[in-house]
Structures are given as C-alpha cells and as structure tokens.
Amino acid sequence: MIYIGADHRGYNLKGKIKEWLSEWGRDYEDVGALTFDPADDFPDFAAAVGKAVALSLSKEQKNRGILICGSGIGIAIAANKIKGVRAGTAANPKQAEAAVHDEDMNVLSLSADFLNEKEAKDIVQAFIEAKFGNEERYNRRLNKIEALENHER
C-alpha cells in the first residue's frame, strides 16, 4: 500500500500520481487533501501519511508514502517527526532509488513547484520499484537512526 497526501500546492500533482499508480497496478490510499483548499497546512497531511506508514511498520508491513507540497521540504520535515518514518526528497530517479536502497526511505517527498510532470513520474516510479539493499552497513546505520529516535545517542 502507498499512502499519498498533499497540501494545496501539491494537490494537482497528487492527482497525476494517483493516475500513474493506478496505471502501474499499485494500491494506494489518498489521505488528503481530498478537496483543494488554499488555506490548508502541509503538517496535517504529513501526519496522516506518516502515521499510516508508521502503523504499518508495527504490523511488519513495508508500506510506503508519498507526500507533495510546494518545496517538498516542509512536508518531509513534518513527516520525519513521526517515529519510524524516513522521509526524504528526491530531485531525480537515481536519488530516489539510492535513498530506498541505502537508507530504506519509506516516504518520498516531492516538490510541486520545482519538478515537471515527467520528472515527478520518473522519480515516483523509481521510488516504488526500489528495494532496500539490506547490507550490514545499511542496517547498522538504520539502527543508529533508530537509537536517535529513541534518544539513546
């Protein structure tokens, strides 16, 4: 399952991403915004996607999330406040693939203002097709990140 959310600046791109996910046969759940509202706030959608992804981790599932705002930065910052979420932005498909392979990124954050439609489509496809490398060094680093989340470092 891919959970997807966006504020008003990412609302239109989110619609395109939903079309692509359907074309690719991927299950998704749109957690908002469900209507265009220029007064909405990205932390609300970061929380909805982040909590859904984090809950799936507790059930030992590997669900992912996609978030969209103007810059892609603010919504990632907000999502990363939720334990278990590893949100990051990607400017190109190779960066998205590497972030999943090396860091097990589970939430992709996109910029609606700085990516064109083709760039966004290629990045999303790379993100959903990428697999975690599961090498010792990657797991060691993830354990250190988890320790930071638990305030053990």
* Topology of the domain comprising 2-149: Ribose 5-phosphate Isomerase B; Chain: A, (3.40.1400)
Domain layout of the chain by residue ranges = 2-149
Nearest to 90 by CA among 138, 54, 122, 64: 122
Q: Strand 87-89 relative to strand 107-111: parallel, antiparallel, unpaired?
A: parallel
Which of 34-48, 95-109, 138-152 is the least confident region?
Answer: 138-152
What is residue 20's predicted lDDT score, i.e. its pLDDT? Answer: 99
Type of residue numbered 148: L
Cβ count within 10 A of residue 111: 23
- Whole-model pTM: value is 0.95
Q: What is the mean pLDDT of residues 91-106?
A: 98
Q: How confident is the model at residue 153 (pLDDT cuts 50, 70, 90)?
A: low
